[in-house]
Amino acid sequence: NVVEKGSFQWSAPSNIALVKYWGKKENQIPANPSVSFTLNHCKTITQLGFDKKQNDGVFSFDLLFEGQPKEDFKPKIQKFFERIFEYCPYLKDFHFTIDTRNTFPHSSGIASSASGMAALAMNIMSLEKALNPTMTDEYFHQKASFLARLGSGSACRSIKGQVVVWGNHAEINGSSNLFGVEFPSVLHENFKNYQDTVLLVDKGEKQVSSTVGHDLMHNHPFAERRFEQAHTNLSKIKSVLASGDLEAFIKIVESEALTLHAMMMTSMPYFILMKPNTLEIINKIWNFRNETQIPVCFTLDAGANVHVLYPENSKEIILQFIKNELVGYCQNGQYICDQIGVGAQA
Ligand code: PMV
């Protein structure tokens, strides 16, 4: 089997957690299970060029971001390769050129680690499949998710769509701490093309890296209770995603977002990652929901940006509301319209 030289290309989307992953054990094992919507437009597109070389014990690769060499991204990727050599020993036989770009603006405060690691993992699996053509599709995707997890935990939820569960949970068949699995039940039609408009409140560097954040859950006074709560919320949202009960959906999702931030506010050291405009937006969403009864809600990741979630049939009115009332709280008036998607694509 001669695999000498060539290239693959994959795109992988970002994802937004509904039940949050916050806290981990050794080897990127999550302290609690999580579930996310896979996004559609916010993607990383990565080409992996490979060229066979002598296994001389020296591993090297070139990294291009938007066509230009990008040295400052290299250590993270180097560390990723080092973590996965034991699962992909063939990698040492190649020199790689990784050429990557995002469909969303760089330093928009949208983390590209999930989409980036997922796209790279899919490319690596394409190489593995070239070396081992009998591999099943299921193995391909499962191992891609497994590898992506070792790059960035939440990245394992970016391989598949539309809803992905990561972490052992008694009620999710096939769930695993090692990789993400597709949500096992049929999604209620209320969630068809579910919308996520990301309001860019603060595009600066993350105040707290997720590595530091996860670490703060060690010895956190509320950690154990929080991990139990995530299990409970995952059980609840499992039925909600099948029944289409948007009122219950909103309660779980908003509570999860605020709990994530509450964990950061009550750790030592403590952080407030929301900005005044984050709170302004949350209050506006609550007022709008009370007045109109339209099932729009928010979620947050570990930063100040707000994800506005709503059903497709309210798209027009919500976008009007965003333009009229929320854009003023966004940095340079910027926001990104996205929706639930299907996962990585060649
Ligand atoms: O994948 P990481 O280590 O960057 O952690 C992501 C954590 C949150 O985005 C805050 C929550 C989640 O489940 O995605």
DSSP assignment string, 206-249: PSS-HHHHHHTTTT-TTHHHHHHHHHHHHHHHHHHHHHT-HHHH
One digit per residue, the tens of pLDDT, for the chain of length 346 reads 678 999 999 999 999 999 999 999 999 999 999 999 999 999 999 999 999 988 787 899 999 999 999 888 899 999 999 999 999 999 999 999 999 999 987 666 677 899 999 999 999 999 999 999 999 999 999 999 999 999 999 999 999 999 999 999 999 999 999 999 999 999 999 999 999 999 999 877 777 888 899 999 999 999 999 999 999 999 999 999 999 999 999 999 999 999 999 999 999 999 999 999 999 999 999 999 999 999 999 999 999 999 999 999 999 999 999 999 999 999 999 999 999 999 999 9
Residues 230 and 146 in one domain: no
Query: 253 C-alpha vs ligand 1 centroid, how far in Å?
Result: 15
Specify the DSSP element, H or E, that contains 62: strand 61-65
Domain contains 159: yes
Residues 23 and 164 in one domain: yes
ipTM of this complex > 0.90? Answer: yes
3-state secondary structure of 281: helix
Residues 205 and 178 in one domain: no
Domain contains 64: yes
Residues 40 and 72 in one domain: yes
Please list, in sequence order, all residues whose beta carbon lies within 8 angstroms of the beta carbon of residue 286, skipping any fewer than 6 positions away: none
* Domain residue limits at 206: 192-339
For a ligand 1 pocket test, name from 14, 15, 18, 21 the mutation site with the most ligand atoms within 8 angstroms of its C-beta.
21
Residues 91 and 131 in one domain: yes
Domain contains 19: yes
Q: Which amino acid appears at position 346 of this protein? A: A
pLDDT of residue 178: 98
CA dist list (Å): 124 to 29, 80, 87, 128, 225: 21, 12, 11, 6, 38
pLDDT of residue 107: 62
Domain contains 344: no
Q: Mark which of 140, 163, 182 sits at the end of a domain.
A: 182
Query: 55 C-alpha vs ligand 1 centroid, how far in Å?
Result: 35
pLDDT of residue 54: 82
Q: Mark which of 182, 216, 234 sits at the end of a domain.
A: 182
Domain contains 346: no
CATH code, 199: 3.30.70.890
Q: Which amino acid appears at position 113 of this protein? A: S
Domain contains 295: yes
First to last CA, the chain: 23
**Which atom from ligand 1 is nearest to the alpha carbon of 113?**
4
Question: Reading across the β-sheet that carries 195-199, which strands appear in turn?
Answer: 297-299, 306-310, 195-199, 335-339
Give how many domains the chain has, as a whole number. 2
Residues 19 and 164 in one domain: yes
